[in-house]
C-alpha cells in the first residue's frame, strides 16, 4: 500500500494510457466497463500522458499497427505520445470525470517550462496525484541528464497542488533520481523498456519501418519481455533508494503481483496486460478478455484476503 500526502491510499494502479484519457477505457473497453467486467474504481488510474501542445506522434487510428506491435508475452510501441494537447483535454474530458468515484492521476511530458505550465493548469482538477514522465522511450529521454530530471520534477512540485509521482526508465540512473527527489516525489513508477535494452543481441524490432522513417529507437517493450529488467529495477530501487515507495510494473498474471511485491514494490501496476494476446489472429477474443484480467486479479486477491482474515479471527458466541 502507498499512502500519499493528501491521504489517498492505493495498491493497484492502471498504467498511463491503458484506460484512455479519462480512465473509462478505449472504445473497445467501454462496453466491458458498462458490463462491470472492468471496474476502474478498483484502481488508481493514470490517464494517457498529455503534452502542452498537440503532438502528432506516430499513431494513426486507421493503421495503429504501424506503431504498436504485439510480441510474445507483450507488446512494443512507438506511439510517441500522440495526443491533442492539454487544453483539449481540459475542455473536453477533464470536467467530465467523477474524481470521487474514479481515483485518477494526471500524466505530463515536456521540457521544464512546459511541465510547470501544465502542472499549474491541472491544479484545477481533483487528481489524486500528478505523474511526471521524463522517460518515454520514444522521445530521446536519454539525452536528459539525471540533474535535468531532478530539476524539472522539483520545479513541478513547487507549482503543483498534487502529490508527485516520477516515472523513470531502466536505462536512466534510477537510484540517483529517486534519492535526488526524496521529499519531492512521493512514489516512483517504471516505464516500458527500450527495445535495444530488452533485446541486446541485435534483434530487429517489428517496428523497423517506422524506426527507419522517424528514428528514435525501436520502441518501448512492455509485458513479459520487460519483466526481468523492470523487476530488477524495482529491487535496485528498494535496496538503494532511501524511502521512495515503488510502483511495480509489468504484471501479466495473478502470481506476478506477489513477485513484484517481493522485489520491493508497495503497489502494482497493470499496463500491457490490457492488450490482446499474440498472435491476435489466433486469439481475437483476447481483445476483450485481456482488459478484464486486472479487475479479476484484484477481486480474487481481495476475496482471498477476506477468507484469510475470517479464518484467523477468533469465533465469538
CATH of the domain at 25: 3.20.20.70
pLDDT grade for 10, boundaries at 50, 70 and 90: very high
pLDDT grade for 223, boundaries at 50, 70 and 90: very high
Pairing status of strand 9-10 against strand 2-3 = antiparallel
pLDDT one-digit tens code per residue, 121-141: 999 999 999 999 998 776 654
| pLDDT given at position 316 | 60
* In contact, 23 and 47? CB cutoff 8 Å: yes
Phi/psi of residue 47, nearest 5 degrees:
-75, 165
Question: Which of 125, 139, 132, 65 has its CA nearest to residue 95?
Answer: 125
| pLDDT given at position 294 | 98
| pLDDT given at position 33 | 97
Q: Do the domain assignments include residue 57?
A: yes
The count of structural domains within the chain is 1
Q: Do the domain assignments include residue 317?
A: no
* Three-state secondary structure string covering 215-276: CCCCCEEEEHHHHHHHHHHHHHHHHHCCCCCEEECCCCCHHHHHHHHHCCCCEEEECHHHCC
Percent of the chain exceeding pLDDT 70 equals 97
| pLDDT given at position 142 | 47
- Mean pLDDT computed over every residue of the chain: 94
Q: Do the domain assignments include residue 232?
A: yes
| pLDDT given at position 140 | 53
| pLDDT given at position 309 | 87
Phi/psi of residue 91, nearest 5 degrees:
-75, -30
| pLDDT given at position 166 | 97
| pLDDT given at position 311 | 83
pTM: 0.94
pLDDT one-digit tens code per residue, 249-260: 999 999 999 999
* In contact, 301 and 294? CB cutoff 8 Å: no
Residue ranges making up the domain that contains 115: 2-312
CB atoms within 10 A of CB 90: 16
pLDDT one-digit tens code per residue, 107-125: 999 999 999 999 999 999 9
Whether the pLDDT of residue 315 is over 70: the answer is no
| pLDDT given at position 138 | 66
* In contact, 71 and 207? CB cutoff 8 Å: no
| Average pLDDT, integer, range 163-173 | 96
| Average pLDDT, integer, range 28-41 | 97
What end-to-end distance do the CA atoms of the chain give, in Å? Answer: 34
pLDDT one-digit tens code per residue, 259-277: 999 999 999 999 999 999 9
Strand, helix or coil for residue 120: helix
Whether the pLDDT of residue 67 is over 90: the answer is yes
Residues 6+ apart with CB under 8 A from 7: none
Q: Do the domain assignments include residue 207?
A: yes
Strand, helix or coil for residue 71: strand
Pairing status of strand 164-168 against strand 129-132 = parallel
| pLDDT given at position 317 | 56
| pLDDT given at position 298 | 98
pLDDT one-digit tens code per residue, 175-207: 999 999 999 999 999 999 999 999 998 899 999
Q: Do the domain assignments include residue 305?
A: yes
| Average pLDDT, integer, range 5-10 | 98
Amino acid at each position: 500500500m502507498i499512502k500519499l500526502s493528501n491521504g489517498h491510499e492505493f495498491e493497484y494502479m492502471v498504467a498511463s494510457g491503458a484506460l484512455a484519457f479519462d480512465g473509462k477505457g478505449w472504445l473497445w473497453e467501454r462496453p466491458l466497463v458498462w458490463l462491470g467486467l472492468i471496474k476502474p474504481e478498483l484502481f488508481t488510474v493514470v490517464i494517457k500522458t498529455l503534452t502542452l501542445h498537440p503532438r502528432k506522434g506516430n499513431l494513426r487510428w486507421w493503421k495503429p499497427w504501424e506503431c504498436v506491435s504485439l510480441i510474445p508475452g507483450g507488446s512494443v510501441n512507438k506511439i510517441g505520445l500522440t495526443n491533442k494537447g492539454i487544453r483539449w483535454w481540459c475542455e473536453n474530458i477533464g470536467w467530465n470525470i467523477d474524481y470521487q468515484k474514479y481515483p485518477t492521476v494526471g500524466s505530463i511530458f515536456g521540457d521544464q517550462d512546459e511541465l510547470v505550465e501544465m502542472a499549474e493548469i491541472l491544479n484545477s482538477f481533483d487528481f489524486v496525484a500528478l505523474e511526471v514522465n521524463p522517460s518515454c522511450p520514444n522521445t530521446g529521454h536519454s539525452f536528459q541528464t539525471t540533474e535535468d530530471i531532478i530539476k524539472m520534477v522539483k520545479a513541478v512540485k513547487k507549482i503543483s497542488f498534487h502529490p508527485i509521482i516520477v516515472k523513470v526508465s531502466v536505462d536512466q540512473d534510477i537510484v540517483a533520481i529517486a534519492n535526488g527527489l526524496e521529499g519531492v516525489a512521493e512514489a516512483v513508477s517504471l516505464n516500458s523498456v527500450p527495445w535495444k535494452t530488452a533485446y541486446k543481441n541485435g534483434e530487429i524490432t517489428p517496428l523497423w519501418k517506422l524506426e527507419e522513417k522517424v528514428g528514435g529507437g525501436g520502441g518501448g517493450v512492455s509485458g513479459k519481455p520487460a519483466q526481468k529488467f523492470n523487476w530488477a529495477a524495482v529491487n535496485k530501487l528498494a535496496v538503494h533508494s532511501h524511502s521512495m515507495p515503488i510502483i511495480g510494473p509489468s504484471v501479466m498474471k495473478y502470481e506476478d503481483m506477489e513477485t513484484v511485491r517481493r522485489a520491493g514494490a508497495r503497489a502494482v501496476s497493470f499496463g500491457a496486460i490490457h492488450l490482446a494476446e499474440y498472435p491476435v489472429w489466433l486469439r481475437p477474443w483476447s481483445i476483450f478478455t485481456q482488459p478484464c484480467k486486472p479487475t479479476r486479479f484484484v477481486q480474487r486477491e481481495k476475496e482471498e484476503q477476506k477468507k484469510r482474515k475470517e479464518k484467523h479471527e477468533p469465533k465469538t458466541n
